[in-house]
A and B are shown apart, each in its own frame.
Chain A
Amino acid sequence: MSYEVFAQKWRPQYFQDVVGQAHVTATLQNQIRSERLGHAYLFWGPRGTGKTTVARLFAKAVNCLNPTQETDLGIVKTGEPCNQCDACKEITQGSSFDVIEMDAASNRGIDTIRDLRENVKLSPAAYKYKIYIIDEVHMLTTEGFNALLKTLEEPPAHVIFIMATTEHSQIPKTIVSRCQDFDFRHLIPEQITSRLKLIADDEGISADSEVLSLIARQSEGCLRDAENLLERLFSSVGKELTLDNVEETLGLSSSNLLHELTEAIAGRDLGVGLAALNQLSIQGMDLAQCLHQLIAHFRDLRLLAIDNNLEDLVQSPKSELSDLKEKAEQISAERLSRIIKILMHTNREIKEYGYAQLHLESALIQINSIKETIQLDEIVNKLIAIEQKVANSEMESGTTSTSILPIIPKTKLTESIMDVESPTLSMQESESDRRTSEAEIGKTQPKTLRSLDELSEIWEEVMAQLKETSPQLAFGTFRGANPIQDGEDRIKIVCAHDASLSFIDDEARKSIINKLSEIIGKPIQIELVKTEVDTQTDEITEAPKKEVKTTPMMRKRQAEEDEQIQPVLDLFDASILEIQI
């Protein structure tokens, strides 16, 4: 038997050994026990969390020749494979005819699926079920997926499909809806360490809990990554794993230097910071990893700076807690946030361009130049205080000079905003249209004139009479028209249709004037205008839309080239990070 890596050697052979996916294994075991099996399963989740393993276990358990096992409770069905019978052994070795494991990423076309459809019809060679495990199923072509649909919907009774993937979003909805969906989750560090402990003990590796939790943190919740890391450490370091030699092998910075670096950042000592960074680089440490450690450290600090009682959320070892708390008291959460922001930005740059040392250096310089920030409301409060002071002194001296602060009265402000917002509108409006809008504004502040209700009552009456005398006017030209008071004896009639205006001749106009004068009781002038209301609102909503289309890059460039913004940038030696509208 040739050598197998831990991830292969320790692939669980019982459901109970699968770590951290109890929600999946419990459901599957229940299905096996009660013999209520689905015909298609979709396993999805992050890499190295047990999808293929559980698929194989399931294949074994449903075909196991000894489904009942002796337990403390007597002979019961546990839903576990026995791993003793021929079926279990063959499937474990991968030599069974009835468990077909397909690599959908290498055989992704429609031809593969056509073959599969042919073979699905045949009954199992030796055991109860014929099981198709389609791994990396997200790589099937669209044709491949579609060719599978009918088979997947109603497969023969002896067939079970298990599909496994890391990319759930790439699976067509039509496939997903035909399957029972099982999501595999990231493991929490404790689950990984306990599994690693088991492996380490059995393989005769001595590793204390600090080493194991370091490996667990490095593996981002994926068990296979953790097992591979342990494997690598075992094969390169040997059976004695200590924190020091593990850190060295993985290129993690030794805690000392990192400590120095964080101190330098927090204490704004650029020289020390650069020295520590240089030292890290000389020792051949992975600077990107260092950056991750830095970010984690400052995250913890920020938590403690916000609230001293948040220690449960802190990820650093408990032994450093008191030290951290002490540090957290000396630095504001605001400043920590900015440090973290700069570090995160650096992280992105390193990912994109490489050159970790250079980017970290410029991050150090940036952090060093952060000034203690003043909250915006604090500034506003100060301004208000100044304003009051000035106002008071004015009252005392009795002068009428205007306030030094160029505070624009609110009403004036809104007006000017309106002016700015609708330049295109007013240009398109005809002379009469503009008067309409003016009248509309006036209408909200009625002077001595009739109210809107009154006017529309009068209008209804006019229309009622018109319907009898000249229906073409009532039903055509003036349908949906609205009267608006426009001066003492003037009424403006806003027609709903553009075309209406051209149909109104002098005669029609006269008859309307007569009718209105009759009802109101004195001579009335009218003006007929076309409505702009609908199109106006359209334009208002459209105009900002056009602006939204500009990309953040374009906006940034615009802002950078803006004549008013540029001097500000130069003055403060600032740069534009993002623009929020």
Chain B
Amino acid sequence: MPNKIIGHQNIITQLQNAVASERVAGAYLFSGEQGIGKETVALYFSNLILCENTTDEVIPCSECRACRKIKNGNHPDLRIIRPDGAQIKIDQMRELQQQIVYQPLEGERKIFIIANTEMMNDSAANSLLKTLEEPPAASTIILLTENLKTMLPTIRSRCQILTFYPMPTEELSKALMDSLSIDTEAASAAAILSRGVIGKAITLIEKGITESGTVPAIMMETDLLAAFRLAEAFENEQESLDDLITWYRDLMLLQQDAPKEYITHTDAIEQLQTLVPRYSNNRLERAIKNIFQTKMLIQKTNVPKMLALEVMCIKLIQGR
């Protein structure tokens, strides 16, 4: 359990204030993209609430029984509920409802963290409504979601919603340098490539991807047959579609003569410049939309991944 959270200072302060003034609400909803730190902050918040050494500063002492138990993941008053398979099901919520009425065992509060709430099915979400509206005293439910828009409005209305935003890249690269002891260039490249999402930045560094790379082959390709070869390359790399979008965005900005500081892949700027005449603004917009749609198809439908990727590559090369 880290004692200090990188970034999200605004949210941490809000939560600290709530604990300090004993105004911890019964239901919170943390929203933000994957890897941005929702769960880390939720655990930190639980730690704040359950820590037995209260100090003026409102930070977890990490020495007391509660702090150590949370660190080891066996505090009896903290439960984390995760999707059972592809969904969070109504039975899991019923179980929660049974448990939540009991008094906390060791701490002052029972805390339930529900991760990936966007994967709740409809009946599970509805069954939570009454509990969220009036949670039993001394209990707090923290919902974590990657997609606030898909949550029921009735759920949203019952929670205190805290939205997590990507960190400014400079701040993130500084934090990465401090905590992971890597050099400036690698840190700033990771920060830019992850678009300020700390979880992604750390994964990138762990994988050793710290260069903003070369222009993706697909942007220069004109041969339709190459689509199949390229699609295969995409299949192996989960993150590469996100990356591809940033390349097209760069091209779009370059085409509009936007200032260089907004470009993500500054290393490859000259190479990108040579591509500008080949792309019309419309073609770029279509390309970006195409990638988004493919991403959505792969994530949310049962379309064969390879097929979707091939179609995408063909369209990108054709410029349609």
Contacts and interface: CB of A to CB of B under 8 A. Distances in A.
B240 interface: no
Interface stretch (A16-24, A70-78, A225-233, A330-338): A225-233
A5 B128 CA distance: 18
Contact of B137 (A2, A46, A352, A575): A2
B185 interface: no
Contacts of A235: 14, 17-18, 21, 23, 25
B23 A234 contact: yes
Contacts of A414: none
Contacts of B289: 349
Contacts of B97: 106
Given A234-B23, A560-B320, A353 B282 contact: no
B253 interface: yes
A248 B127 CA distance: 34
B182 interface: no
A274 interface: yes
Nearest to A353: B292
Interface residues of B, number: 63
Contacts of B21: 235
A299 interface: no
A505 to B, nearest CB: 64
B94 A271 contact: no
Given A3-B23, A103-B130, A574-B282, A362 B288 contact: yes
Contact of B157 (A222, A248, A271, A282): A222
Main secondary structure on chain B at its contact with chain A? Answer: helix
Interface stretch (B62-70, B81-89, B159-167, B218-226): B159-167
B249 A286 contact: no
Given A3-B24, A274-B262, A353 B123 contact: no
Contacts of A366: 285
Contacts of A355: 245, 292
Nearest to B162: A232
Interface residues of A, number: 58
A358 B249 contact: yes
A284 B165 contact: yes
B320 A573 contact: no
Contact of A47 (B157, B163, B295): B157
A416 interface: no
Contacts of B23: 3, 231, 234-235
Interface in A233-285: 234-238, 248-249, 251, 270-271, 274-275, 278, 282-285
A354 B33 contact: yes
Contact of A286 (B33, B93, B163, B282): B163
A229 to B, nearest CB: 8
Contacts of A83: none
A52 interface: yes
B109 to A, nearest CB: 9
B285 A47 contact: no
Contact of B130 (A136, A278, A351): A136
B163 A251 contact: yes
A554 to B, nearest CB: 15
Nearest to A560: B320
A224 interface: yes
Interface string A124-141: 000000000001101100
A166 B160 CA distance: 20
Nearest to B93: A106
A191 to B, nearest CB: 17
B174 interface: no
Contacts of A136: 126, 129-130
B60 interface: no
Nearest to B146: A354
Contact of A352 (B127, B168, B296): B296
A502 B314 CA distance: 59
A275 B259 contact: yes
Nearest to A557: B320
Most buried by A among B126, B167, B280: B126
A171 to B, nearest CB: 14
B127 A573 contact: no
Interface of A: 2-3, 5, 8, 46-48, 52, 103, 105-106, 108, 135-136, 138-139, 166, 222, 224-225, 228, 231-232, 234-238, 248-249, 251, 270-271, 274-275, 278, 282-286, 349, 351-355, 358, 361-362, 365-366, 368-369, 560, 573-575
Interface of B: 10, 13-15, 17-18, 21-26, 33, 90, 93-94, 97, 123, 126-131, 133-134, 137-138, 149, 153-154, 156-163, 165-168, 245, 249, 252-253, 256, 258-259, 261-262, 280-282, 285-286, 288-289, 292, 295-296, 320
28 contacts: A3-B22, A47-B153, A47-B158, A103-B130, A105-B127, A105-B128, A105-B130, A106-B97, A106-B127, A108-B123, A136-B130, A222-B157, A225-B157, A228-B160, A232-B160, A232-B162, A235-B14, A249-B10, A249-B14, A251-B163, A274-B258, A274-B262, A284-B165, A284-B168, A286-B163, A286-B165, A353-B296, A362-B252
Closest 5 CB pairs of A and B: A236-B14, A105-B126, A2-B137, A106-B127, A103-B130
